[in-house]
C-alpha cells in the first residue's frame, strides 16, 4: 500500500515510511492511495470473528508485506488482550472502548503504533524521539504504549491546568523513556508546537523525530477495527454480555422500555462518535469504505463545533478552542479534517455524517439522567454522544435502528465531573495504580523556541 500526502499526490511513502515520519515532508497528512476492501469471506464473518482476528484482517490490508503475517499476529495479540464490548444500555447500544490500560479508546491506536514502531525499527541504532500533543487522553495512551520500548523516547506536550489530575499522572508519572512538558496555552498551541518542531530543519539533523498524534496513520488504522467488529455483531443481531469493568450500578433494575435505537438483525449500524480531532471518526469512515455494515455516522462535538458547522454550511472555519467538561474534545482546528477532506467532498460528507453539538449543561444533565434511568455511568465525552443522538432522533434526523454510541472513556477517569452528578463509578484497577504516581513535568511557554530548547536539554 502506498500513502500520499493530503497536500501533494507526488509525495508518497510505504506504510513504514508514512508511520515513522508521522507528517508528510510538505506538512500534509498521509492517506492511503485507496481505502482497501475486506475480502467477502472476512466481510461476511465479521459478526463471528474474535477481535484480534478482525484486527489482523483489517491492518494487514494497510501494512501489506511491510509487516509479515506472523509478526502482525504477534503484534495484535500483544496489543489487544482486551476487546470492545457492544452492550445494550437503556434501549440503545454502547460500544465500550475503555477496557485498555489508560481507560480511553486511544489505547487501541497507541498500543498498535508502539508495537509497529518497535518492529519497523528493529536493528536500528539511532534513537527515535516521538513528540505528541495531547488534550488529555492521547498523552497517557501513548506514554503507556511506548513505556520501556527500547530505542524510543517520547515527549508529551499537554495544556497546563487543562487536564485532570489522573490524566496528568498518566502522562507525567511514568518517567524512564517518557518525558512531559506542561505548555502554558491550549491544546491547539501544543499541536502547533509539535508541528513546528517536526518541521524544524535544525532539529531534524540532530535527532530522528516522529509524531504520535492521530495524524499518524499507524494510530488511525487500528481504530477501524472496533467499528468493523461492532458493526458485524450488530448486523448479526447480537450484543455482548456485560464486560467485567462495565460501569453499571449493581443490581439496577432498569425501567427503560424504548428500544427504538437498539439491535435489529440485518440492519447496518449508525455510529455516534464523540469527536475532537476527528481521528476516531475518520477511522470509522475507513471501516465503512472497507465494507463493514455501517450506514451513517453522527459527529457529536461539544461547543467546539467547527465540523458540525462545516457540515451545515459548507464553509470550513477554524476557531480557537474553548474549554469544556469533555476536555479531550476541546479542539477548534481538528487535525484529521484534512484527511476527511482528501477522501470526501462536502456533499459526500453531508450524506454520510450528521453533525451535532452539545453544551456542558446538556452533558451534565445526560450523565445524571442515564445513571438514573438506565443505571449506567457515562463519562462526559460519551454523554456528548448520547445527548447528540437524542437530539438528532428527536429532530427525526435518524430513523429507528441500531445506533452504537462510542463510549470513548471510562467514567472513573472523569470522576471530578461524574461523581457529583451520578455518584462514584467503579474504578478499574489500572486507574487506581496510575493515581499513585507522582507528576514530573517541565513547564514551558507556548513558543516553538522554548520547545526546541527543552527537547535539546532532555
- 83 or 274, CB closer to ligand PLP? 274
- 146 or 337, CB closer to ligand PLP? 337
Q: Tell me 419's DSSP state.
A: H
- 58 or 170, CB closer to ligand PLP? 170
297 near ligand PLP, rule: CB under 6 A: no
Nearest-approach distance from CB 118 to ligand PLP, in angstroms: 23
- 177 or 408, CB closer to ligand PLP? 408
Ranges of beta strands (E only) in 139-198 are: 152-159, 178-184
If binding means CB under 6 A, how many residues of this protein chain bind ligand PLP? 16
Nearest CA to 115 out of 75, 148, 83 is that of 75
Q: Tell me 23's DSSP state.
A: B
280 near ligand PLP, rule: CB under 6 A: yes
277 near ligand PLP, rule: CB under 6 A: yes
Judged by CB under 6 A, the residue of 100, 185, 274, 284 near ligand PLP is: 274
111 near ligand PLP, rule: CB under 6 A: no
What stretches of 177-222 show up as alpha helix (H) in DSSP? 187-198, 201-206, 217-220
Judged by CB under 6 A, the residue of 21, 285, 329, 340 near ligand PLP is: 329
381 near ligand PLP, rule: CB under 6 A: yes
Nearest-approach distance from CB 278 to ligand PLP, in angstroms: 5
218 near ligand PLP, rule: CB under 6 A: no
Judged by CB under 6 A, the residue of 84, 94, 234, 328 near ligand PLP is: 328
Judged by CB under 6 A, the residue of 408, 417, 418, 444 near ligand PLP is: 408
Strand 92-96 and strand 86-89: pairing?
antiparallel
Nearest-approach distance from CB 83 to ligand PLP, in angstroms: 18
284 near ligand PLP, rule: CB under 6 A: no
Nearest-approach distance from CB 253 to ligand PLP, in angstroms: 29
Judged by CB under 6 A, the residue of 159, 276, 308, 355 near ligand PLP is: 276
Stretch that binds ligand PLP, among 11-19, 152-160, 204-212, 269-277 (CB under 6 A): 269-277
Stretch that binds ligand PLP, among 161-169, 262-270, 278-286, 427-435 (CB under 6 A): 278-286
CA atoms of 142 and 138, how far apart (whole Å)? 6
**Residue 20 in 3-state DSSP?**
helix
CA atoms of 188 and 274, how far apart (whole Å)? 18
Taking the mean position of all CA atoms in its chain, how far away is CA 210?
A: 18
CA atoms of 110 and 130, how far apart (whole Å)? 12
104 near ligand PLP, rule: CB under 6 A: yes
What stretches of 64-136 show up as alpha helix (H) in DSSP? 69-79, 106-120
Nearest CA to 300 out of 196, 397, 235, 430 is that of 397
**Contact present, 206 and 456 (Cβ < 8 Å):** yes
Nearest CA to 20 out of 204, 284, 277, 209 is that of 209
**Residue 291 in 3-state DSSP?**
coil
**Residue 273 in 3-state DSSP?**
strand
Question: Which residues contact ligand PLP by CB under 6 A?
Answer: 104, 106, 137, 214, 274-280, 328-329, 381, 408-409
Amino acid at each position: 500500500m502506498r500513502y500520499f500526502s493530503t497536500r501533494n499526490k507526488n509525495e508518497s511513502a510505504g506504510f513504514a515510511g508514512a508511520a515513522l515520519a508521522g507528517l508528510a515532508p510538505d506538512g500534509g497528512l498521509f492517506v492511503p492511495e485507496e481505502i482497501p476492501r475486506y475480502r467477502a469471506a472476512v466481510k461476511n464473518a465479521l459478526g463471528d470473528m474474535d477481535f484480534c482476528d478482525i484486527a489482523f484482517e483489517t491492518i494487514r490490508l494497510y501494512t501489506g508485506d511491510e509487516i509479515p503475517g506472523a509478526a502482525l499476529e504477534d503484534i495484535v495479540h500483544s496489543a489487544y488482550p482486551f476487546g470492545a464490548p457492544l452492550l445494550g444500555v437503556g434501549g440503545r447500544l454502547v460500544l465500550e472502548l475503555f477496557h485498555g490500560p489508560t481507560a480511553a479508546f486511544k489505547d487501541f491506536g497507541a498500543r498498535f503504533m508502539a508495537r509497529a514502531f518497535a518492529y519497523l525499527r528493529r536493528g536500528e541504532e539511532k534513537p527515535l524521539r516521538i513528540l505528541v500533543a495531547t488534550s488529555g487522553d492521547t498523552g497517557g495512551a501513548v506514554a503507556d504504549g511506548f513505556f520501556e520500548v527500547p530505542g524510543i523516547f517520547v515527549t508529551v506536550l499537554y495544556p497546563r491546568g487543562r487536564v485532570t489530575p489522573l490524566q496528568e499522572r498518566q502522562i507525567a508519572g511514568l518517567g524512564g523513556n517518557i518525558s512531559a512538558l506542561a505548555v502554558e496555552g491550549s491544546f491547539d498551541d501544543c499541536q502547533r508546537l509539535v508541528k513546528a518542531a517536526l518541521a524544524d530543519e535544525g532539529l531534524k539533523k540532530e535527532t530522528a523525530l516522529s509524531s504520535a498524534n492521530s495524524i499518524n496513520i499507524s494510530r488511525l488504522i487500528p481504530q477501524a477495527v472496533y467499528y468493523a467488529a461492532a458493526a458485524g455483531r450488530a448486523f448479526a443481531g447480537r450484543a455482548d454480555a456485560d464486560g467485567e469493568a462495565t460501569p453499571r450500578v449493581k443490581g439496577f433494575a432498569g425501567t427503560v422500555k424504548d428500544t427504538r435505537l437498539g439491535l435489529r438483525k440485518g440492519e447496518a449500524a449508525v455510529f455516534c462518535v464523540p469527536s475532537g480531532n476527528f481521528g476516531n471518526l475518520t477511522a470509522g469512515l475507513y471501516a465503512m469504505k472497507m465494507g463493514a455494515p455501517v450506514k451513517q455516522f453522527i459527529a457529536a462535538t461539544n461547543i467546539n463545533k467547527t465540523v458540525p458547522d462545516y457540515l451545515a454550511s459548507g464553509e470550513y472555519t477554524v476557531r480557537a478552542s474553548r474549554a469544556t467538561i469533555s476536555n479531550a474534545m476541546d479542539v477548534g482546528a481538528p487535525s484529521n479534517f484534512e484527511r476527511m477532506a482528501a477522501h470526501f467532498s462536502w456533499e459526500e460528507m453531508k450524506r454520510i455524517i450528521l453533525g451535532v453539538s452539545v453544551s456542558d449543561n446538556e452533558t451534565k444533565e445526560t450523565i445524571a439522567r442515564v445513571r438514573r434511568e438506565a443505571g449506567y455511568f457515562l463519562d462526559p465525552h460519551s454523554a456528548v454522544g448520547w445527548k447528540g443522538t437524542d437530539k438528532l432522533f428527536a429532530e427525526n434526523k435518524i430513523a429507528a435502528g441500531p445506533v452504537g454510541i462510542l463510549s470513548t472513556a471510562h467514567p472513573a477517569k472523569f470522576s471530578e465531573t461524574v461523581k457529583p452528578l451520578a455518584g462514584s463509578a467503579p474504578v478499574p484497577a489500572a486507574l487506581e495504580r496510575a493515581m499513585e504516581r507522582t507528576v514530573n513535568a517541565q513547564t514551558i511557554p507556548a513558543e516553538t523556541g522554548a520547545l526546541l530548547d527543552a527537547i535539546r536539554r532532555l
